[in-house]
Structure 1
Amino acid sequence: MLRHMLKLIWKRKSRNMMLSLEILLAFLVVFAIAAFGLRYWQLYQLPTGHAYQHQWSVTIRSAQDLPNDGALFDNLKRSLLALPEVESVAFSSFGTYEMSRWTENYALPDGSNRLQVDSLNVSDDYFATMEMTPAAGRFFSRADDGADAIPVVINRRLADQWFPGKPAVGQIVVLKVDGKQEVSRRRIVGVVEDFRSHGEFMDPVYFMLLRWVPGTGKDAVNNIMLKLKPGTPRIFESRLNAKLKQVRSDWSYVVTPQTEARSSMLNTQLVPLKILGVIAAFLLVMVAFGLFGVLWQNTTQRIPEIGLRRALGADAGSIYRQIVSEQMLLSTVAMLVALVLVIQLPLTGVFGDSLNWTVFIAAVVLSASVIYLLSLLCSLYPGWRAARLSPTQALHYE
């Protein structure tokens, strides 16, 4: 039966060619959307490495660069801790769930294994404020004052890349700046499993958290991270802003609960997927109309053939199954050709971890299911119409 249907499809290859190309294109589009969506779902399941439920971010806006004044930052911290709703205060270069990003090039002391690393300057209280726990080593503290290298905490991904099979804690890495001979040393004091500053849909990257001390160095930070008591209402923002104004009235402050920042970030990151979804839905509707029209025309042109089969004793069910089976077989052939094309993507690693084998296999299965369902729905009515033909009507068709 299979060989017979393949012969029938091959004899009508000129008419089936455009139909096959249409199915192939639809499969590729559905595959792209499915892979995109499944990668988002996979990322969403990964830990971000920090909390957000009770954390608020305060961004300091100033007409001039912020001074790295230790007394000023100490005054800010003490004033905020005086509020009964505030449990912990920390400082950082930027907040989580923001589009801000800072990357630098680091390498081992001998210059090998040079990597581009996302980095963030944070104060000692940052880890407690963000409810982080070390996977190895410790977080930096006052015990690191006067250290011969800047204490840093890195994520597991970076530790495994630099020091596979051995402990990363205590190791030295250096900042590599093109065109400069001097190097800035960093000592790894702790490792966290992960840290994704952009939230759940951020691809895992190499990440480093560097110790920042108020009053030390030239650069200040312009973000305050707060951990508030559970149940703190949004109206607390007015009291918080008033307290900050008491410290520096010439600055402006943007207060953002991290729950709201997270929701906004997730919505922003989902925009490309929503746009592609709309495009894919429109394309599938057009493909469905095309499939239905072509199948209707093919069935009409095959009425004499169908009538001969009925005259030879084939029942209506057999005709119906033939029309549907031929369409499913044609879809299978088109998708096999598409599969040969798309399998090159994970084999070559052109998209890296974004198209890993788990995502690829799931996307192929989902895409094939959609195309088979579409083909089945489009072939049901033409098959039913062909099955209703009587041998007399079919053999007298002109």
Structure 2
Amino acid sequence: MLRHLLKLIWKRKSRNLMLSAEILLAFLIVFAIAAFAARNYQLYHLPLGFDHRALWSVTLRPSDNAPIDPASGIYTQLRGSLQSLPEVEQLAFLTFSPYRTARMSGTVALPDGSRAQNSHLQLVSDDLAALAGVKLVEGRGFSAADDGAAMTPVLINRRMAHNLFPGRSALGQLYVEVNPNKAEEKSFRVVGVVEDFRSHGEFMAPVNYVLKRFSPLSDKDGPETVLLKVRPGTERAFEARLERQLKLLRNDWHYEIKPLGEMREDRLRSSMIPLAILSVVGAFLLAMVAFGLFGVLWQNTSQRIPEIGLRRALGASAAAIYRQIMAEQLLLSSLAMLAGLALLVQLPLTGALGESLNWQVFLAAAGLSMLLIYLLSLLCSLYPGWRASRLHPAAALHYE
């Protein structure tokens, strides 16, 4: 049966060429959208590295936009002033609030200059890990025991530990910041490894991440964000009381106050916009392909009336004709999609798109795309197949 269907397709190869091209185009479009959606789904379910619940973010904006000087004692004043509020259970300082698009990055390497790695980094206070639920998988967090340490203590994520110190424990290891503008390279000591810290949210791709310990005694520029852990049930009206408290401390500064949960929702909505746009465009293109596919199938069926009438005259049932038309279409779709897969499989094999198209994403996107194209082909062949199956053998006599 399969050999017979392949012969029929081959004999009408010139007519089937346009049909195959339409199916291939539709498959490539659906694959791109499915791969984007599958990658986002994969990212959403990866460990985030922190818990956003019950956290509020306060961004400090000095009026002159100058860096905050830790030596001025402002962080001690902020801690004392904010902890006096009954709604505040705990607070910590860090460079950027989670779910903000801002980032700070650099290049690090082993002391001998090998294994250079690009990394995101943040300056954080000792209590961030406990406040935000940052999960340690190895080592310890920061503490007052690190005051006066010869080398700045850091926490790195599991990914960076694997990339920078493969095959060995990262605890106690040293690395340096690669900075060609400085004569001396600053050294850092790893005191702990965290599971991850994807500061841009659930749709952020995993990257190397470093959390540096903030020390008002040694750092020249301080973090600009305060994370507050508030008591359960704290209402949105707390924002006004919080701003009044901050204004009592520094009336010349501006403050951006927002619950981390709202920042997360805004970030998720903005991240879903590209997928929504791609889905709308893809649906429109698929509709166009479906109309074209339906028209070509109808035309092909009409041109095969003598062949179908002869088969009916030789005893073929209406169901057999119906199955033949649908089977031919599904087989043609399979051949077009196999050609598409032969091209697309080069992407994960060569790593051209990096981790954004890993094998899990590729297989999920390929499966979803094939399922949708088979469904589209089946729906488009239903009416032409039914029309062919209803053909009376005498109808073939009207054709030469």
Report the TM range for the smaller structure's normalisation. over 0.9
Give the whole-Å Cα distance in 2 for the aligned partners of 1:245 and 1:124: 25
AA paired with 1:114?
A
Find the counterpart in structure 2 of residue 325 from structure 1: 327
Shift of 1:70: 4.6
1:149 and 2:151 equivalent? yes
Aligned partner letter, 1:13:
K
The CA deviation at 1:53 is 0.9
Using the TM superposition, give the Cα deviation of residue 273 of structure 1 relative to its aligned residue in structure 2, in angstroms: 1.1
Deviation at residue 299 of structure 1 after TM alignment: 0.5
Separation in structure 2 between the aligned mates of residue 220 and residue 164 of structure 1, nearest angstrom? 32
- Structure 1 position 397, deviation (Å): 3.9
Aligned partners of 1:133 and 1:99: how far apart in 2? 23
Provide the C-alpha distance between the structure 2 equivalents of 1:215 and 1:174, rounded to a whole number of angstroms. 21
Q: In the aligned structure 2, how far is the partner of 1:72 from the partner of 1:338?
A: 61
Give 1:73 deviation, angstroms. Answer: 1.2
Contact kept, 8 Å, 2:176 with 2:185, in 1: the verdict is yes
Q: Which residue of 2 aligns with 1:55?
A: 55
The separation in 2 between residues aligned to 1:390 and 1:380, in whole angstroms, is 18
Deviation at 1:270, TM superposition (A): 1.3
1:295 counterpart residue number? 297
**Residue aligning to 1:165:** 167
What is aligned with 1:93? 95
- Name whichever of 114-123 and 7-16 sits farther off: 7-16
Deviation track 1:261-286 (CA, whole Å, cap 9, x = no partner) reads 00111111111111111111111101
* 1:99-118 residue CA offsets vs partner (Å, 9 max, x unmatched): 01111010000000001110
Aligned twin of 1:102: 104
Separation in 2, partners of 1:311, 1:360: 48
> How many pairs were matched up?
398
Q: Which runs of 4+ in 1 moved over 3 A?
A: none
| 1:45-84 to 2 correspondences below 5 Å | 45-64=45-64, 65=66, 66-84=68-86
Matches within 5 A, 1:34-49: 34-49=34-49
CA distance in 1, matches of 2:98, 2:194: 16
Report the secondary structure of 1:254's partner residue: strand
Q: Quick one: which amino acid aligns to residue 5 of structure 1?
A: L
- Of 331, 347, 350, 1:348 maps to 350
Q: 2:248 is matched by which residue type in structure 1?
A: Q
CA contact (8 A) 1:308 1:395 kept: no
Contact 2:117 2:164 in 1 (8 A): no
Deviation at 1:180, TM superposition (A): 3.3
Query: 3-state SS of the aligned residue for 2:136?
Result: coil
After TM superposition, the score normalised by the length of structure 2 is: 0.97
Letter in 2 for 1:323: I
Give deviations 1:141-192, integer Å, cap 9, x for gaps: 1101111111100000001112222211111100011243310011111110
* Whole-angstrom distance in 2 between the partners of 1:179 and 1:51: 37
CA contact (8 A) 2:63 2:254 kept: no
2:248 paired with 1:246: yes
The answer for the alignment partner of 2:13 in structure 1 is 13
Partner Cα distance (1:285, 1:111) in 2: 56
Q: Does 1:261 align with 2:263?
A: yes
Q: Partners of 1:370 and 1:205 in 2: how far apart?
A: 33
State the match for 1:378 in structure 2: 380
TM-score of the pair, normalised by structure 1: 0.98
For the 8 Å contact 1:70–1:215, the answer to whether it is kept is no
* Equivalent residue number for residue 111 of structure 1: 113
Give distance in 2, aligned partners of 1:12 and 1:378.
Answer: 19
Q: How far off its partner does 1:306 sit?
A: 0.8
For residues 204 and 146 of structure 1, what CA distance do their matches in structure 2 show? 32
Check conservation: 1:199, 1:262, Cα contact below 8 A: yes
Q: For residues 31 and 293 of structure 2, what CA distance do their matches in structure 1 show?
A: 19
Match of 2:371 among 354, 366, 369: 369
In the aligned structure 2, how far is the partner of 1:340 from the partner of 1:63? 59
Given that 1:88 and 1:128 are in contact with CA atoms closer than 8 Å, whether structure 2 keeps it comes out as no
Aligned-residue RMSD, C-alpha = 1.1
- Residue ranges of structure 1 left out of the alignment (5+ in a row): none
Kindly report which structure 2 residues correspond to 1:123-138, keeping only aligned pairs within 5 A, or say none.
Answer: 123-138=125-140
User: Does the CA-based 8 Å contact 1:70-1:216 persist in structure 2?
Assistant: no
Deviation for aligned residue 1:67? 2.6
In the alignment, the residues of structure 2 paired with residue 58 and residue 246 of structure 1 have an alpha-carbon distance, to the nearest angstrom, of 15
Aligned equivalent of 1:310, options 309, 312, 315: 312
Secondary structure of the 2:92 match is: strand
SS where residue 69 of structure 1 aligns? helix
- For residues 2-34 of structure 1, give each alpha carbon's deviation from its aligned partner in whole angstroms, at most 9, with x where no partner exists: 111111111111111111011001111111111
Shift of 1:215: 4.8
| Distance in 1, Cα, partners of 2:279 & 2:217 | 50
Distance 1:355 1:256 in 2: 35
d(CA) in 1 for partners of 2:267 and 2:216?
29
CA–CA distance in structure 2, aligned partners of residues 216 and 237 of structure 1:
32
1:272 match: 274
Partner SS for 2:349: helix
1:138 CA drift (Å): 0.7
What amino acid maps onto 2:168 in structure 1? K
Bigger mean CA deviation after superposition, 251-260 or 66-75: 66-75
Give the deviation of 1:57 after TM superposition: 0.4
Mark the runs of 5 or more structure 2 residues left unpaired by the alignment.
none
Decide whether the 8 Å contact of 2:147 with 2:215 is kept in 1: no
SS at match of 2:73: helix
Q: Give CA-to-partner distance per residue, 1:222-258, whole Å, 9 cap, x none.
A: 1111111111111110100110011001111110100
Q: Which residue identity is paired with 1:50?
A: F
Q: Which amino acid aligns with 2:26?
A: A
2:153 alignment partner, SS class? strand
C-alpha distance in 2 between matches for 1:209 and 1:88: 19
Displacement of 1:221 = 1.8
